[in-house]
Amino acid sequence: MIDLLIKRGDVFTMAGDGVGYIGDGAVAIEGNTIAAVGRTAELEKAFPAKRTIDATTKAVLPGLIDGHLHTVIALLRGLGQDAPTWHEGVDPYFEQLSTDAVLAGAQLSAIEAIRAGTTTLGDYGPGMLITLPFYEKLGIRAKVCSLISEVPPVESILKEGELYPFDPSIGELRLRENLELIENWNGAADGRITVMIGPQGPDYCSRELFRKIKETAEKRNVKIHLHIAQGDREILQMKNRYGMRPVEFLADIGYLDEQLIAVHMVKCTDEEVERIARSGASMAFCPSSLIICDGIVPPADVFLRAGGNVCLGTDETSSNNGTNIFSEMKLGSLALNMKNQDPTFLPTWKALRMATIEGAKAIGLDHEIGSLEAGKKADIILVDLTKPSMMPVLRDPVRNIVPNLVLSARGDEVVMSIIDGKVVYEDGKITTLDESELLAFIQQTAEEVNEQASKEVRKRRTVQQRLTRENKY
Amino acid sequence: MIDLLIKRGDVFTMAGDGVGYIGDGAVAIEGNTIAAVGRTAELEKAFPAKRTIDATTKAVLPGLIDGHLHTVIALLRGLGQDAPTWHEGVDPYFEQLSTDAVLAGAQLSAIEAIRAGTTTLGDYGPGMLITLPFYEKLGIRAKVCSLISEVPPVESILKEGELYPFDPSIGELRLRENLELIENWNGAADGRITVMIGPQGPDYCSRELFRKIKETAEKRNVKIHLHIAQGDREILQMKNRYGMRPVEFLADIGYLDEQLIAVHMVKCTDEEVERIARSGASMAFCPSSLIICDGIVPPADVFLRAGGNVCLGTDETSSNNGTNIFSEMKLGSLALNMKNQDPTFLPTWKALRMATIEGAKAIGLDHEIGSLEAGKKADIILVDLTKPSMMPVLRDPVRNIVPNLVLSARGDEVVMSIIDGKVVYEDGKITTLDESELLAFIQQTAEEVNEQASKEVRKRRTVQQRLTRENKY
């Protein structure tokens, strides 16, 4: 007798090169693993189950994957918008982030994510040692890294183009932290938590540190998660230090390969983006965040055209400004179509693949998740197609479910999330912990950070403070 | 004793030139009218109420305004995407739309809209005689028009650039229908339903018919709601018929003034957009729909820069693909920022104004709705700020509620909608009718239309049918 049978659903396995639709479909789950996927009639006979879930008029999908986000600053939601640079608004708060704030940020992101169908977070620290015990308890899947930089906190006092100093002792410390993460958490929680390695950007680590990081990544067989060409400042640093642009530098130090998850790349030339794509590296595409922060669409179109593999990411709740992959599917598709003035550039089915199987591939988990196939981990969401925003449901000769999942769903149509075989979200509630307690802690912690930052915010007369005083906020 | 007192909320009145914030705010409602807006302490004393609603940690806002949509084709959701032209996908269904389908489309749009905080629909027919009795019962506010065209259904058989024939008898009939709407429905349902006049586009009516429409609009003092420069086909028709581009023609026939709501304008030059804006006309900006259909951002940036007034619209559930103004606020802001590569181009507070007071102005209802002020109609929504997607809530020195309303809200944070003084949505339910009955009717009607259209869809081998067969849908 298996543990769980989901039956009578509109199942999208995402296997193969499309969406792998099975009408009147079923998924059999044993422990944390998918035992079988097929027609209800077949699976019902073959798999008597302890619990059966009727998924009539529900889309049954692999859980969505948020390939790149920093939960650590989620508490700063709505504090950096409407300004030439997002940093100016959030920096005074950022300087006051306590360990409680790091934890509360992870809680806020993870709760919001689960409520919108996300089952895996590609969380890019720092702060993971604070965050991971919470993820373990919550039951979410996470692929995380620490943030590695060897630049002391002097950026703000340097002149434009003046080289950041490197402090190898800081670099060593950060690398050691990431190593400890690998040692203590890679494969933890029955394999739900796995670890990557996270140099902050080409301009934040020395050649020597990059060499050690690559060596570690190869030895431990973990992915390298790296921001690339995030801004003009980085380009200038790289040119002044090495006489090279970031991508040239990364090629030079042997970083362009399948181990790499390349994030943002907004200041890359098309040729540089293509070079990364052709190397086998994946891209993390965070449309909302980059458009909100910089008014720029990351070059996922160029990356895809060059044959690259792309995952979606929410980046930061404080810039995005949410943790909702449904929203990124829609916005990602629209942003690329708009950029290319072509309504067919990123079809909805492709956006859904980027949020599932191709997202899993990007973060190195496609052997375990991203599609519903026998032997994979049971990360599954059920989306209620009888919600007004998903109606009507038509199946033949045109099946309208995929475009409606990508372009119409708000996130609250998700009625169940199963992660690693366990029902983590059901009937509008997270099952593994007391959400109202967490939300109270989140609010209280945010107020504490706010209290600490207030004086500095007033002193710096941030754009957002002016907007508040002018009654625009 | 008044009917209703909302107290202790974060009230955004939208009065003045900002968002009109009142902390610990209250709104007193008598019948369908706002009696007073102010601090809780003051209003509590002055206005004993039959019912009091505690709005602690809720944003209290004017109901959102969807200034331009065609509910008539809402049933065709998800049938026209991922193709070079949206028309090819939806046309076979469009040809099968029954009166039931028109009604079901309006039901679907209106339910989805109310569930996402919309309280006023700028519905652009045809089919309004079928739709309006439903709106009356539902309790939503609507500003509607009929669609006026005098082109017989021959467009598809004409060669490119060949002039559409005009049939004055069709024009007369359509104008008469709109006139009947004005006579029978303008001011109906205690004034909740008002009427505009809706020529389809510069290329769809003769000069003579446009003259009569303008005469009618002036005599009845109603707005003219008109698509302008929707596509290359229209430009070519106008050039071939009059030797003028659409805007030149509209200037020539005296249409550029405050009575005009100009829709889309995607094929206008910047100078043409500026000319319309300076005339005092308003613009209906439907970002999702135009980006999804054509990969184009409508020129709201140009219109705003020229000092024009803009409302948001969802256009069509079948292209948008939803009826959610929260989504349009976010996407509208991001699309314009992206187009201008400037993260400050359309600030969040401005997007909120476009969805409320400036939206009301566009459709000629700013004397009644769009802001919370004594004497205006009580169209009010409550947004729960304790939902994870809206947290944390900070008020001083930076108030983060407005950016979070615009950039984070999914729509399901709306917990109450009051329209014309009546609670129409509460506790997740529409109060005026049985939603499950409607949803069943919507689904059944969609299946009937689908059944009727199936043969033709197969015959035409639409893109969407191919995607379905290839397991991409």
Interchain pair B334, A450: CB under 8 A: no
Pull the structure tokens for residue A276. Answer: 């990364």
State the best of A21, A331, A393, A410 to mutate against chain B, taking most chain B CBs within 10 Å.
A410
Query: Does A115 contact B320 at a Cβ distance shorter than 8 Å?
Result: no
Judged by CB atoms closer than 8 Å, whether chains meet at B403 and A82 is answered as yes
Which among B79, B391, B407 is the nearest to A442, CB-wise?
A: B391
By CA distance, what is B393's nearest residue in A?
A443
Search chain B and give the residue with CA nearest A467.
Answer: B398
Give chain A positions within 8 Å (CB) of B84. Answer: 343-344
Across the interface, which of B340, B404, B462 has its CB nearest the CB of A77?
Answer: B404
CA distance B6 to B53: 5
| B318, B354, B391, B459, best to mutate vs chain A, most A CBs in 10 Å | B391
Q: Which of B294, B297, B404 sits opposite A343 (nearest CB)?
A: B294
Of A75, A389, A445, the CB nearest to B322: A389
* Whole-number pLDDT of residue A265: 97
Question: Is B439–A388 a contact, with Cβ atoms under 8 angstroms apart?
Answer: yes
Nearest 5°: the CA angle A136, A141, A143 is 105
Check if the beta carbon of residue B231 is closer than 8 Å to that of residue B199.
no
CB contact under 8 A, B391 and A108: yes
Averaged confidence pLDDT in chain B: 96
Report the DSSP beta bridge partners of residue A224: A197, A260
Facing residue for A18 by CB, picked from B75, B295, B470:
B470
Q: Is residue A155 over pLDDT 80?
A: no
Write down the pLDDT at residue A130: 95
Whether residue B391 and residue A340 make contact (CB cut-off 8 A), yes or no, is: no
Distances (CA, A) of A323 to A123, A172, A450, B340: 12, 32, 21, 25
Question: Residue A122's pLDDT band (boundaries 50, 70, 90)?
Answer: very high
Instruction: Give yes or no for residue B160 having a pLDDT over 90.
Output: no
Mean of pLDDT values over B184-198: 98
CB atoms A81 and B16 under 8 Å: no
Q: How confident is the model at residue A157 (pLDDT cuts 50, 70, 90)?
A: confident
B394 and A78 in contact by Cβ < 8 A?
A: yes
Return the pLDDT at B157.
79
**Rounded CA separation A228/B470 (Å):** 36
Which residue in chain B has the smallest CA separation from A21? B471
**Contact at CB, A83 and B343, closer than 8 angstroms:** yes
Q: Which of A328, A352, A394, A454 to mutate to test the interface with B (most CBs of B within 10 A)?
A: A394
Chain B residues with CB-CB distance to A116 below 8 A: 410
Q: Tens digits of per-residue pLDDT, B8-56?
A: 999 999 999 999 999 999 999 999 999 999 999 999 999 999 999 999 9
Q: What is the pLDDT of residues A199-231, one digit of tens each?
A: 999 999 999 999 999 999 999 999 999 999 999
Question: Residue B149's pLDDT band (boundaries 50, 70, 90)?
Answer: very high
- Quick one: tokens of A104? 């509360």
By CB atoms closer than 10 A (0-12, 13-18, 19+), residue A161 is: exposed
Give contacts of A462 with chain B, Cβ < 8 Å. Answer: 398
**What pLDDT score does A246 carry?**
98
Contacts of B331 in chain A (CB under 8 A): 331, 334
Of B79, B321, B473, the CB nearest to A349: B473
Residue percentage of chain A with pLDDT more than 90: 96
Instruction: Name the band, by pLDDT with cuts 50, 70 and 90, for residue A153.
Output: confident
Residue with tokens 């009717």: B441
Average pLDDT over residues A294-306: 96
Is the bond preceding A184 in cis, omega lying within 30 degrees of 0? Answer: no
pLDDT at B154: 79
pLDDT in tens, B388-430: 999 999 999 999 999 999 999 999 999 999 999 999 999 999 9
Q: What is the pLDDT of residues B96-145, one digit of tens each?
A: 999 999 999 999 999 999 999 999 999 998 899 999 999 999 999 999 99
Q: Is A20 left (phi over 0), alpha (psi -120 to 50) or beta?
A: left
Q: In terms of CA atoms, which chain B residue is nearest residue A20?
A: B471
Q: Report d(CA B106, CA B102) in Å as an integer.
A: 6
Chain A neighbors of B301, CB-CB under 8 A: none
Nearest alpha-carbon partner for A67 in A391, A362, A464: A362
Q: Residue B153 has what pLDDT?
A: 83
pLDDT surpasses 80 at A156: no
Cβ A294–B343 below 8 Å, yes or no? yes
> What pLDDT sits at residue B270?
98
Alpha carbon of A419: minimum distance to chain B alpha carbons (Å): 20
- Identify the band that residue A154 occupies on the pLDDT scale cut at 50, 70 and 90: confident
The answer to whether the Cβ–Cβ distance between A392 and B108 falls below 8 Å is yes
Among residues A422, A374, A418, the alpha carbon closest in space to that of A64 is found at A418
Of all residues in chain B, what percent carry a pLDDT higher than 90?
96
Question: How many interchain CB pairs under 8 A, A with B?
Answer: 284
Q: Kindly give the residue spans of alpha helices, DSSP state H, lying in A39-98.
A: 40-46, 86-94
pLDDT at A214: 98
Of A344, A398, A443, the CB nearest to B462: A398
For residue B473, list chain A residues with Cβ-Cβ distance below 8 A: 19, 21, 349, 398-403
Taking contacts as CB-CB distances below 8 angstroms, the residues of chain B near A140 are: none
CB contact under 8 A, A338 and B89: no
Domain A2-62+370-430, CATH number (from 3.40.50.261, 2.30.40.10, 3.40.50.720, 3.70.10.10): 2.30.40.10
**A64-362: which CATH topology?**
TIM Barrel (3.20.20)
Distance from CA of A304 to the nearest CA of B (A): 17
Q: Which residues of B touch A316 (CB under 8 A)?
A: none
Query: Greatest CA separation found in chain A?
Result: 71
Q: Name, in order, each residue with C-beta under 8 angstroms of A313's C-beta and a sequence gap of 6 or more.
A: A66, A67, A68, A69, A122, A263, A284, A285, A286, A289, A328
**Taking the CA of residue A35 as centre, how many other CA atoms within 13 Å lie in the half-sphere pointing to its CB?**
19
What residue segments make up the domains of chain B, in order of their start? 2-62+370-430, 64-362
Q: Do B295 and A337 touch (CB under 8 A)?
A: yes
Alpha carbons B222 and B234: distance in angstroms, whole number: 25
pLDDT, averaged across chain A: 96
Name the maximum alpha-carbon separation found in chain B.
71
Q: What is the pLDDT of residue A416?
A: 98
DSSP structure class, residue A13 = -
- Averaged pLDDT, A191-201: 97
Q: Which residues of B touch A321 (CB under 8 A)?
A: 403-404, 407-408
pLDDT band at B471 (very low <50, low <70, confident <90, very high): very high
Record: contact B338-A338, CB cut-off 8 A: yes
10 Å Cβ neighbour count for B94? Answer: 19
CA distance A372 to chain B (A): 15
- Chain A residue at shortest CA distance from B109: A388
- Assign 3-class secondary structure to B209-246: HHHHHHHHHHHHCCCEEEEECCCHHHHHHHHHHHCCCH
Tens digits of residue pLDDT in B279-336: 999 999 999 999 999 899 999 999 999 999 999 999 999 999 999 999 999 999 999 9
Identify all chain B residues contacting A470, using CB atoms and an 8 Å cutoff: 18
Give pLDDT, residue B309: 98
pLDDT, residue B9, reads: 98
